[in-house]
């Protein structure tokens, strides 16, 4: 199965404003968000012109407008872009977004080469590209300046399997052991091996990301796991969240442990910061 832009576009059109609360309606999402914010605060500076790719309804846009000198916001879904505008208007920061553009990660040809100091592409965009993943990586590298950075995130395979382990018997029954083996070995949830799915994506390991970057003129600045402690489950996290001091300690450990090489594949998202040579 090859990349089809109609799928992620329709998927996020349907999600509509549910995307806005994706990382705030659960403690697992909150931890994921806090690690991403730690990464962005470390690497996005006030003198930077930034392109946000796959911005969705504005989860990170509302933060990036306060970090960057100039922010251009893009998404494949016009529905998400309209929601993003609405949220930025409601927050009183719409004037801090320089432009909104409908852009597909596999074709950033409408953007001038080396036009930005940084590109932020986190969450799902790269994981939806399937056979075009390398194209997407080269596109973001084309539009960032030499010496500029790209914050790149993907969905994690290991974390997903751990969280949904109780669903594996039903999955085996539905698609058979061979197709389930394919899913667990490759992370590819595609039409050929999972005909009943409505969510075509590539859940990755850090080895997959390393493979995508091999041969590219980049240096890896940082690797992070976002949402490691989310694997504890919502009930446990909710109990901890009731105690502010205890929650602060858990967040502290989440941020610290997200930097450990051994945790890289167990967060909700795997986040790389790369610098273009």
Strands laid side by side in the 218-226 sheet: 97-102, 70-75, 49-52, 116-121, 144-155, 269-276, 218-226
Confirm if 275 and 221 have CB atoms less than 8 A apart: yes
Is pLDDT of 198 > 90?
no
In sequence order, the 6+-apart residues with CB closer than 8 A to the CB of 196 are 174, 175
pLDDT in tens, 142-178: 999 999 999 999 999 999 999 999 999 999 999 999 9
Beta-bridge partners for 151:
120, 273
Cα(2)–Cα(4) distance, integer angstroms: 6
Label residue 75 by pLDDT band (50, 70, 90): very high
Domains with residue ranges and CATH for the chain:
6-155+202-276 (3.40.50.150)
Structure confidence by residue, pLDDT tens digits, 20-53: 999 999 999 999 999 999 999 999 999 999 999 9
Which pair of structure tokens corresponds to residue 57?
A: 């309804």
């Amino acid at each position: 199965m090859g990349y089809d832009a109609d799928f992620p576009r329709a998927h996020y059109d349907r999600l509509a404003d549910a995307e806005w609360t994706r990382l705030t309606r659960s403690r697992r999402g909150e931890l994921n968000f806090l690690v991403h914010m730690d990464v962005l605060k470390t690497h996005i500076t006030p003198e930077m012109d930034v392109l946000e790719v796959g911005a969705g309804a504005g989860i990170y846009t509302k933060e990036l407008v306060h970090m960057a000198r100039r922010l251009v916001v893009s998404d494949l879904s016009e529905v998400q872009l309209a929601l993003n505008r609405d949220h930025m208007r409601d927050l009183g920061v719409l004037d801090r977004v320089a432009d909104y553009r409908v852009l597909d990660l596999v074709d950033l040809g409408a953007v001038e080469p080396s036009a930005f100091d940084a590109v932020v592409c986190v969450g799902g965009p790269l994981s939806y590209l399937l056979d075009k993943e390398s194209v997407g990586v080269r596109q973001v590298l084309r539009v960032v300046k030499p010496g500029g950075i790209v914050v790149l995130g993907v969905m994690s395979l290991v974390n997903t399997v751990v969280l949904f382990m109780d669903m594996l018997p039903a999955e085996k029954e539905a698609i058979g052991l061979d197709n389930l083996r394919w899913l667990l070995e490759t992370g590819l949830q595609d039409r050929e091996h999972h005909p009943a799915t409505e969510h075509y994506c590539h859940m990755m390991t850090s080895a997959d990301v390393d493979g995508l970057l091999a041969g590219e003129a980049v240096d890896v600045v940082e690797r992070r796991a976002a949402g490691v402690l989310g694997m504890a489950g919502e009930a446990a996290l909710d109990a901890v969240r009731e105690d502010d001091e205890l929650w602060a300690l858990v967040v502290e450990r989440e941020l610290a442990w997200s930097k450990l090489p051994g945790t890289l594949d167990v967060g909700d998202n795997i986040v790389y910061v790369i610098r273009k040579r």
